[in-house]
């Protein structure tokens, strides 16, 4: 059976993919986050997503799919933590001057905004968070992701349009 005939949905093929890629993927994530448990959890999530999308992923693209999914899941966790920490800092600083109603509205708004960011398509979310949270320039993001600067600009534009629309409705 040639590689192009093999399907990721075949349990033997999937198990082989797991055996070949789980440890390198875990190590890659561990180097990123410094937490072995978090790395292992992200590996499991990536393989679950691969299994759920096995009909859409070609065998020769499976490794790239796993690394991309895991990397994006990790970035989402990091960005979520940044937002939580930033909000916690602001809440402590402003806790004496704002009414409870305002604080509740602000908390609800932040949750909706986080959900709106999480609902962005993968590429748009990644570009948006790298730019707004990590303060990377479009050029730096393009180099980091291996895409053109125009692609980064387009993704950012689409992300901002969607977020503005969502925020306007909140």
Domain ranges within the chain, ordered by starting residue = 1-71, 98-170
Instruction: Count other C-beta atoms under 10 Å from residue 86's C-beta.
Output: 12
CA distance 166 to 170: 6
Residue that the structure tokens 């999480």 belong to: 118
CATH of region 98-170, choose from 2.40.30.20, 1.10.10.10, 2.40.50.140, 2.60.40.1220: 1.10.10.10
Contact between residue 138 and residue 149 where contact means Cβ atoms under 8 Å apart: yes
Backbone φ and ψ for 19, nearest 5 degrees, come out as -60, -40
Tell me the pTM. 0.48
Contact between residue 139 and residue 147 where contact means Cβ atoms under 8 Å apart: no
pLDDT digits (tens, 9 = 90+) for 130-161: 888 778 899 988 888 889 999 999 999 999 99
pLDDT digits (tens, 9 = 90+) for 48-89: 999 998 888 888 889 989 999 998 888 888 888 888 877 777
């Amino acid at each position: 059976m040639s590689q192009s005939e093999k399907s990721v949905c075949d349990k033997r093929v999937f198990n082989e993919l797991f055996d070949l890629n789980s440890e390198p993927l875990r190590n890659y994530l561990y180097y990123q986050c410094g937490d072995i448990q978090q790395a292992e959890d992200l590996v499991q999530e990536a393989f679950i997503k691969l299994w759920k999308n096995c009909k859409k992923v070609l065998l020769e693209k499976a490794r790239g799919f796993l690394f991309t999914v895991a990397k994006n899941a990790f970035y989402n966790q990091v960005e979520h933590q940044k937002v939580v920490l930033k909000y916690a800092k602001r809440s402590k600083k402003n806790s004496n001057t704002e009414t409870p109603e305002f604080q509740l509205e602000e908390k609800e708004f932040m949750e909706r905004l986080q959900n709106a960011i999480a609902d962005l398509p993968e590429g748009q979310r990644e570009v948006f968070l790298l730019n707004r949270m990590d303060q990377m320039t479009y050029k730096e993001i393009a180099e980091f992701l291996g895409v053109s600067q125009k692609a980064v600009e387009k993704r950012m534009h689409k992300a901002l349009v969607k977020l503005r629309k969502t925020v306007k409705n909140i």
